[in-house]
Amino acid sequence: MQWFRGNSITLVAVFSVLQINNIQKSYGSVRALNDVSLEVPEGSVYGILGPNGSGKTTLLGILMSVLRPQKGNFKWFDGQFGDSYRKKIGCMLETPNFYQYLSGEENLRITVSISGRGDETDITRVLKLVGLYERRKHRFSTYSLGMKQRLAIGAALLGNPGVLVLDEPTNGLDPVGIAEIRELIRALSQAGHSIIIASHLLDEVEKICTHVAILKRGNLLADGPVSEVLMDEDVVEMDAANRQLLTAVLSDRGITTDTNKESGLVNTYFPKGLANLEYLNRTCMESGIILTHLSLRRKKLETRFLELTND
């Protein structure tokens, strides 16, 4: 549980649905997860983001007790009552796996029988929720890939779980299918579900997630609200005859700088929309520095992601 100060002096409690502590998992000499720790807030859409092979599916497998870690632990919580959330989790791991010759409705009946979650009324509810009610009598083999993904999400929704765990829910879909799944996830989030999504697509996480953890080769590189971890920045490029004096003056005023290795230009960084070129120019002139270059450029989210994941 975390605490945040609201507009008044009242402290507002933000509960977690999941705490992960120092999880390690290896396959022979390959370390799939290396001391991964993070916390998933209740009501969030939490993205586990990283390139293929970064450990995303391994982490979800551990969280769903399909795999066992060599070290570390995790715990699911019900924020309201403190009870374990383990039996209140709907899950879709990897490729949807249903009987091709049975209808969507019949496949969900089998899922109810095996999982013990939901009933006939619930099957109707989730088919309507994922937009497959009109196709409920059609064989699974006739479904498009997007429809198959939606049926898999429907199966995860049986029993109305508080938490959904979705592994690459838009994988392999065309743009229309991706848009459909995104809208469905948004609707589920608005309905009160906490959702954990594994994805290698930055665009997907940016558009639907509230929080993100970035993995690379089993290491947690960054985690927190998407707006902070994948934050757009204003980058101001500057140059002067005396670069050393320029960086010293900027540093004295608490402005972060670095030097572009290719161009030699001095870069300064500001939160998006807060760069003030007039102030920078005036500050330099008052210190006896004549700028030979001053320009503003935006750092894109893709750039931030590549900075975190590239070697």
Percent of all residues in the chain with a pLDDT value above 70, rounded to a whole number: 87
Pairing of the two strands 219-225 and 211-216: antiparallel
Average pLDDT (222-229) is 84
| pLDDT number for residue 302 | 64
Per-residue model confidence (pLDDT) at position 201: 84
Q: List the structure tokens of 132.
A: 């497959």
Q: How far apart, in whole angstroms, are the C-alpha atoms of residue 152 and residue 306?
A: 31
Minimum mean pLDDT range among 87-101, 102-116, 213-227, 233-247 = 87-101
What residues contact 270, with CB distance under 8 A and at least 6 apart? 233, 234, 235, 236, 276
State the Cα–Cα distance between residues 24 and 10, nearest whole angstrom. Answer: 38
DSSP 219-238: EEEEEEEHHHHT--EEEEEE
- Give the pLDDT of residue 15: 81
Span 110-130, average pLDDT = 90
Cα separation, 36 vs 209, whole angstroms? 20
User: What's the pLDDT tens digit per position in 177-221?
Assistant: 888 889 989 999 998 899 999 998 888 888 899 999 999 899 998
Name the average pLDDT for the chain: 85
Poorest-pLDDT segment among 124-128, 154-158, 206-210, 299-303? 299-303
Q: Regarding predicted confidence, which is higher, 104 or 258?
A: 104
- Note the pLDDT of residue 47: 94
Residue-by-residue DSSP string for 161-185: -SEEEEESTTTT--HHHHHHHHHHH
Domains of the chain, CATH where assigned:
233-309 (3.30.70.790)
pLDDT score recorded for residue 239: 92
pTM over 0.85: no
Q: Residue 56 in contact with residue 67, Cβ under 8 Å?
A: no
Question: Average pLDDT in the 31-45 region?
Answer: 93
- The percentage of the chain sitting over the pLDDT mark of 90, rounded to a whole number, equals 42
